[in-house]
Chain A
């Protein structure tokens, strides 16, 4: 499989699933060409609603559609749609409406558009709601399975997708399950947990670390909420060191969730990699290097964390 953005895989999956289930509808706020729901809209024009640049109304209409039996995918840039947090909190979460909130263009990896367009706090916001799972797939295969899962899942859910292309990382026989992570590379000295766009970089970092004599276990954490507590506990017990790697703020994201669980259940030295400043414009590669999320940056942080 060639590299593909998870937003693109999402758009393709929707078209396929839409043929089998006419309850599926999409809602956009003038970004359907970017969220990649435009293909669905072209194929099923009566089931796609572009509501203009009005994300609060988009979220509310999605809730109403869900309450009337549809399965709405409400899509926009992660920062814009989760920015309407109060509407998600009451009309979707508290109402328990079967809405799939889709946030695309996550992280500093969107590059040149700069901080105002980067979803960097969305996981932290949605994670505080009691009934919303958070899924961030790492490649095309996983994205298509995650979208299919979202259709089956009863209740609100948040799907976090990238603008940038993602190299394939999942094994051919991979099967997505909520609350289950995928062990991509076994190791014994340190556990690297990536999610979405950082998983491939974590794998590359593990190769570099191997050359330095460090055996890194690499896990793809697509299910950010709930965590795979079993795999996290087992891996932390085995390696005794955990590093989380995400294109999101280190406050409240995957790293925050892992920190909370480890410190309560299995205290383990932890390093969280992610952002702790506002993002900025630049080329995506340069930004990943600047924020220490490329393979070299991850490998250096891990080596330092292990005192090598």
Chain B
């Protein structure tokens, strides 16, 4: 599978993230844009799953512990066929299964309710252990936020993981990724509660670690391969990312942790994501009718 294909999917997902958050009028663009390349690489690069059978016992599982970035997860789920893409714009609306944070009961394919930070790693450990006990080849991918690992439960889980299930059912079927975008709700992570030296911390708990650029699909793929090849214990990947990646005015700006774009901002964001210069935009929209429809739809929101 070529990285150009994944790259195109990631770009399309970024457009959808902006679109759905503009419709919802609330939500978390920054962390959704920082994590999307990781999710695309997992979902379309290696996940063994069947959107038609979300309860298939031997499926691989994604646990998005940083549940506030769920718009990114909804986008890859829709692209993979868990539900129609049109439903994305029901995000956060009354009666929609696309809850503001993941709801396993409401939306088949969501593996665990998350968003109350710090809980997903423990749940992932349990899933990985359960798969081993059942003799299932299932693999678990857990994505943590950087601010999230300030929660104490994460370190309880981190301490328990390397030896969990030994000697017969060790959980080397678990890959954990920290989406290290350096920003949390209130401010930069270093200003709130610095995590450094973060790699050394996990290593001292007995974890094999990898450090990558979390927007480089090739590096992500390689790291996931390496984690899968590591036997005896789970692997931690620290993915250095940019909060708001792909939209210049959102990048590295704490203000865009939990604020939705206005329609005009959304259109500008989509243009940037697609890499189209402003003078060429109108011309571009005449050739890309799908994007033109989204832009028209967003502009109509302004008139509501």
The chain A residues found within 8 Å of chain B, CB to CB, are 25, 46-47, 49, 51-52, 54, 56-57, 59-70, 72, 86-87, 89-91, 94-97
Contact = CB atoms under 8 A, between A and B. Distances in A.
A49 B164 contact: yes
B122 A65 contact: no
- Taking each of A61, A87, A95, which has the highest tally of chain B beta carbons within 10 Å of its own beta carbon? A61
Contact of B121 (A60, A68, A86): A60
Nearest to A45: B168
Interface string B12-35: 000000000000000000000000
Contacts of B138: 68
B183 interface: no
Contacts of B120: 60
- A-side interface mostly: helix
Contacts of A68: 57, 126-131, 133-134, 136, 138
A52 B129 contact: no
Interface string B111-127: 11111101111111111
Nearest to A25: B133
Contacts of B66: none
A129 to B, nearest CB: 12
8 contacts: A52-B156, A57-B156, A57-B157, A61-B157, A64-B126, A65-B126, A89-B116, A95-B104
A65 B113 contact: no
Contact of A91 (B113, B130, B136, B156): B113
Nearest to B153: A56
A90 B116 contact: yes
Contacts of B113: 90-91, 94-95
B125 A61 contact: yes
A185 to B, nearest CB: 42
Interface in B137-164: 138, 152-153, 156-157, 159-160, 164
B169 A46 contact: yes
Contacts of B164: 49, 61
Contacts of B128: 64, 68
Interface string B159-184: 11000110011000000000000000
Given A64-B129, A87-B153, A59 B168 contact: no
B37 interface: no
Contact of A67 (B103, B112, B115): B112
Contacts of B112: 63-64, 67, 91, 95, 97
B157 A67 contact: no
Contact of B123 (A46, A64, A89): A64
Contact of A54 (B105, B121, B156): B156
B242 to A, nearest CB: 29
B157 A65 contact: no
Given A68-B138, A95-B104, A57 B160 contact: yes
Contacts of B114: 90
A63 B123 contact: yes
A69 B128 CA distance: 11
B161 to A, nearest CB: 9
Given A46-B169, A54-B160, A63-B112, A91 B122 contact: yes
Nearest to A131: B105
Contact of B122 (A25, A52, A59, A69): A59
A232 B114 CA distance: 38
A90 B119 contact: yes
Contact of A57 (B133, B153, B165): B153
A100 to B, nearest CB: 14
A130 to B, nearest CB: 11
Nearest to A99: B126
Given A90-B116, A94-B103, A52 B153 contact: no
Nearest to B129: A65
Given A67-B111, A90-B114, A61 B134 contact: no
A56 B160 contact: no
Contacts of B123: 60-61, 63-64, 67, 91, 95
Contacts of B126: 60-68, 72
Given A25-B133, A64-B122, 19 more contacts: A54-B156, A57-B125, A57-B153, A57-B156, A57-B157, A59-B122, A61-B122, A61-B125, A61-B126, A63-B123, A67-B126, A67-B127, A67-B130, A68-B129, A90-B114, A94-B103, A94-B113, A95-B112, A96-B105
